[in-house]
A and B are shown apart, each in its own frame.
Chain A
Amino acid sequence: MKFHWSVTLMLAALLVFSFGLATAQEMNKEQWQQEVDKYTQQRNELSDKIKSLNSSIESMKSQSGKLDGDYTKAMDELYGLVGSDATKAGEFRKQVEYSENAANDLMRLSDADLIARETEVNDLENKVRGLWSDKLSLVPEFWDRLTAVNEKIASLKTTLANQIKTYTVGTWQRDRDCLWNISKKKDIYDNAWLWPKIWQGNRDQIKDPDVIKTGWKLKIPKGNELSAEEKTAAKKYYSKKAVVVGQ
């Protein structure tokens, strides 16, 4: 009897389980319809959204094109204010860029190398002065960039002004060092006739320009020509020598 009831209960449970499984796995028509409705609604909403996005994109494309035109026109007007145009401004921009690069190159040099290239600093200064004289320099883009270059040039000039080049006298036997020969050296003046500059710049040590001693540290004054005082000193020296030679 008990066995009989157990079998019956098991069968009933199996049936309920199978029914549940069957209904859970398979969709009935009503559920299908609900799904179709749901996805159809989603599709319609998404399609509308795409239409709206496309419209926004088209509108922005046209706005972007109009802004390009407005920008070109405004730039022409800006360059027109200083009596120039886009082509000339392009050329001017290249020259400003060249000056910027030159200034940056010089800024990277060691003090010793900078002294050797002092003339380039002066050339750059003149070039930038020329650029400032062009009305295009009033345009903020150029004004700001040239101001930055000017600051670099000022810094370079300060560095140069603070540098005192020196030369240590070697032996006559080995280096043939005299004021004439020192002055003739490429890295000094590259001009023997400027020897009085060294003499006058080192009056504390050099009493007689014909006598310099090994190991002296001589200051090398800047410049590529003799000052009035140096010329006078040189004349006196040559006259004295002439008298000595004449006697």
Chain B
Amino acid sequence: MNKLNRTVTALGVALLFTTSIMLVGCSSKPDEAQMKQLADLKSEVDALQKEITSKEGEKAAFEKEVAEKTAKLKKVADDMAVVKQRLANK
């Protein structure tokens, strides 16, 4: 009985060991070139995100500039109306 137990245990351990080795060894892994491709892709995404931040800043500055110039132009139009009025009252 004792001998049978020992044999079953030994077999169980051997089976577990073999299964684990097969599971780890047999799953396919990406090679070095593929890992590099992934790393390059990540760097490219990072660079693009940085570029977007910079472009958004540039866009905001232009938006501000255009708004200021539009306001200035509107003020000139208002000034013209005032000058016409003053000339009429002179």
Contact = CB atoms under 8 A, between A and B. Distances in A.
Interface of A: 1, 4-5, 8, 11-12, 15-16, 18-19, 22-23, 26-29, 32, 35-36, 39-40, 42-43, 46-47, 49-50, 53-54, 56-57, 60-61, 63-64, 67-68, 70-71, 74-75, 77-78, 81-82, 135, 138-141, 143
Contact of A50 (B5, B52, B79): B52
A57 B86 contact: no
Contacts of A57: 55, 58-59, 62
11 contacts: A19-B23, A27-B29, A29-B30, A43-B44, A53-B52, A56-B59, A60-B63, A63-B66, A64-B69, A67-B66, A78-B80
A93 B70 CA distance: 23
A140 B62 CA distance: 28
A131 B49 CA distance: 57
Interface of A is mostly: helix
Contact of B48 (A47, A61, A63, A68): A47
B47 to A, nearest CB: 9
B83 interface: yes
Contact of A32 (B38, B49, B58, B70): B38
A138 B44 contact: no
Contact of B80 (A64, A77, A143): A77
Contacts of A23: 24, 27
B34 A32 contact: yes
Contacts of B51: 50
Contacts of B62: 57, 60-61, 64
Contacts of B72: 71
B8 to A, nearest CB: 10
Nearest to A30: B28
Given A35-B38, A64-B69, A67-B73, A54 B55 contact: yes
A5 B73 CA distance: 91
B24 A78 contact: no
A26 B41 CA distance: 19
Contacts of B2: 1
A138 B80 CA distance: 10
B28 A81 contact: no
B87 A82 contact: yes
A35 B37 CA distance: 11
Contact of B41 (A18, A36, A56, A70): A36
Contact of B9 (A4, A18, A71, A77): A4
A14 to B, nearest CB: 10
Contacts of B56: 53
A34 B72 CA distance: 53
B28 A71 contact: no
A11 B42 CA distance: 40
Contacts of B9: 4-5, 8
A32 B55 contact: no
A9 to B, nearest CB: 10
Contacts of A46: 45, 48-49, 52
